[in-house]
């Protein structure tokens, strides 16, 4: 291949790559999820406070080291009030409401919209919230 052809091929490849990047951006290509580990130990969440940026996918990797089952439900006060009197024994239909069996790890990915005040995450199994199984999730604008 001559130098002219090599330069032309390189230029076409670069133009195609830039074009693909513009198209991906135009169709709303999401960045890779930010991974945040949460450990459940002695019926407490570690960390007990998490800050996440609005609009970015967040993958929570939740590991339950306890010999008993737990759940991780994140939301506002109204959502938690509904769960305190709810009857759902197991959660897996919504990424913001998951059950974690004893000794297991689960992954759930959530993109939080613009900040709207602090959210909390709670285990609503009988007695767990009263024992202190809660945390705060702050959605930031940066």
In this structure, the answer to whether residues 44 and 64 fall within a common structural domain is: yes
The pLDDT assigned to 87 comes to 66
Give the C-alpha separation, 130 to 59, whole Å: 27
- Residue-level pLDDT at 6: 43
Total H helices, total E strands in the chain: 3, 9
* Positive or negative: CA dihedral 102, 132, 72, 32: negative
| Number of domains present in the structure of the chain | 2
Same domain, 85 and 118: yes
Block means of pLDDT (10 residues each) for the chain, 142 residues, are 44 39 48 95 97 95 98 93 76 87 97 87 94 96 80
Asked if 91 and 133 sit in the same domain, the reply is yes
Q: Are residues 89 and 19 in the same domain?
A: no
Residues 21 and 39 in one domain: no
Range of the domain at 12: 1-30
* Residues 137, 56, 141, 134, Cα dihedral to 10°: 0
- What pLDDT, on a 0 to 100 scale, did the predictor assign at position 26? 42
Reported pTM: 0.75
- Do 90 and 129 lie in a common domain? yes
CATH code of 99's domain: 2.60.40.420
Looking at residue 86, its pLDDT comes to 72
> Which pLDDT score, from 0 to 100, does residue 16 have?
40
In a shared domain, residues 120 and 70: yes
- Residue-wise DSSP of 113-133: -S--S-EEEE--STTHHHHT-
Residues 22 and 39 in one domain: no
């Amino acid at each position: 291949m001559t130098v002219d052809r090599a330069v032309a091929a390189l230029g076409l490849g670069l133009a195609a790559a830039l074009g693909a990047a513009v198209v991906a951006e135009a169709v709303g290509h999401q960045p890779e999820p930010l991974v945040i580990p949460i450990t459940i130990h002695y019926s407490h969440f570690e960390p007990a406070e998490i800050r996440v940026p609005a609009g970015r996918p967040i993958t929570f990797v939740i590991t339950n080291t306890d010999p008993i089952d737990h759940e991780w439900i994140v939301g506002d006060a109204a959502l938690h009030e509904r769960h305190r009197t709810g009857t759902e024994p197991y959660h897996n239909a919504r990424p913001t409401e998951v059950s974690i069996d004893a000794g297991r790890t689960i992954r759930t990915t959530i993109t939080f919209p613009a900040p709207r005040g602090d959210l909390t995450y709670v285990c609503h199994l009988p007695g767990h919230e009263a024992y202190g199984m809660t945390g705060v999730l702050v959605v930031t604008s940066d």
